[in-house]
Amino acid sequence: MSSYTAAQRKITEEITTTLTNVNSEDVDRLIAEINKAEKVFFVGVGRVLLSLKSIAKRLSHIGIQTYVVGQITEPAITDKDLLIVGSGSGETQFPLIIAGKAKEFHAKVAHIGTNPESSMSKYADLFIRIPITSNTEDEGAVVSEQPMKSLFEQSLLLLGDTLALMMVDEKNIELNSLWEYHANLE
């Protein structure tokens, strides 16, 4: 077996195991909150932010008003809106500060992370756990052999695509109709 084959198998097996163990009821609740919100905001840092930007774009393709915190055209958040925080640890300072600000404006906050007991829990109305860990004692969690937190970022991105597909199915959206939301200045 080539080293490429071994590495890709390891990665895809980790992702499959991780996504299989995400609580589907929590995902359903997140979809309900997205559907209720007037606007959906996203905040994260680093590679997590890259995954969140992809999710925001994918949801915009199905007609959801999405914004990434800090983008120049970001509108005000209100009590009719949802902030989705991506933070594996739930301890990253910038997302914590933004979640606190969102709560000041009575917005809903959903945290996608690995640690339900994190500092983010005081702001989150909803927690979606991506079950990965560096602790082999954490039952039901995947211990990754990948560098850094790659498995979290990969799983976050695919969780976002899963949300979008579920919403397309739920709303009986014809896939070809989604092209009207795709960027056309490229």
What amino acid positions are annotated as catalytic residues? 153
Q: For residue 142, give Cα distances in angstroms to 115, 135, 171.
A: 13, 9, 33
CA 106 remoteness from chain centre = 21
- Backbone phi and psi for residue 89, each to the nearest 5 degrees, phi listed first: -75, -30
The secondary structure of residue 22, as a DSSP letter, is S
Closest CA to 153 of 59, 10, 46: 46
User: What are 38's two structure tokens?
Assistant: 């007037």
User: What are 94's two structure tokens?
Assistant: 């910038």
**Per this entry, what is the length of the chain?**
186
- Backbone phi and psi for residue 14, each to the nearest 5 degrees, phi listed first: -60, -45
Between CA 55 and CA 42 the distance in angstroms is 9
Give me Rg for the CA atoms of the chain: 17
User: To which H or E segment does residue 106 belong?
Assistant: none
